[in-house]
Structure 1
């Protein structure tokens, strides 16, 4: 939908889907519990633990009544494995997109992660400073823009359908809070998303709206 003459320019936080007739319903889930080759920080994909595989099965059962048209996942192995387990149970296929991956560790690669090298930047993001950047990594704006680009693609591809997206806790909390027009950026500060829990959002002609967050209904007045 093109803005009317004199309207404010459309940006990523007021994104609109062209000629959207029916809202796409998108269930964004964090991947299952994972193990990693090293205890040092990296952007490696990890793999699901036995518990993580069980969590993926529970996730599949929880969305089985939603008539999921397709599963989309981050390209990180822990997300792909989660998506494949769910898709197999739902009888659908999997599409992988790099834009759904977790924010990168930047200069913290190879460190122990103690103290948390991301705490200051992530807190700045939740306070509304999306220009803040992980040293050697992405800014909040860059994270939200690449995440929004994939959600845009999903919404255009699945008008009037339900879709499951497998992603990661940090990027979900920040990007979905930035994109949903009924949430504040600080919404997730005390509401982390556990493994295989879901944030439900809808895309309509005016952008994204959050409907639930890890099992908690979202009201319109949250922003």
Structure 2
């Protein structure tokens, strides 16, 4: 990732029509497009900030075998200092990993954000995300979907699977207040349910699903 000679490559890209450029850039990850073309010139910057590349951002690196890692500090610095503030109104869904999620959320305001996916979150710390001190708590009235992947060794291609908890907005209260749990029924899941019941004043509905996919 980010290994090509961008000065030479961008000169070549700039000679292509927009339609061809879009076809090529769609083969890349959104963060690659944004980071590589940011502020190269007005035309490439406009194309990089198209909604195709900004609506949903996964701000981490993932390997072919599914491992998730934080972005290198220089790249994360670039996103938090410049790129995210420039496109903040266009971002609708953020995919974040545990080490950099707080910094990414504090980088700017996200007025149109309605969904967050969190990866590499330790299962025992899931509940602590909803204390008054966390940014996730402050966004609870804004976002309509929160996906938490508690596995620490693989990123899931689907929204929900055997390691994921999905929180959905209650249709009556319009608050993000109850989770649909897509975990296998194990003792750890039962403890998680009990813990969450005891540590919240909000009415919670639990639904244990035994399918591999939950459709939103």
TM-score w.r.t. length of structure 2: 0.23
Structure whose CA Rg is larger: 2
| More RCO (CA 8 Å, sep 6+) | 1
TM-score w.r.t. length of structure 1: 0.23
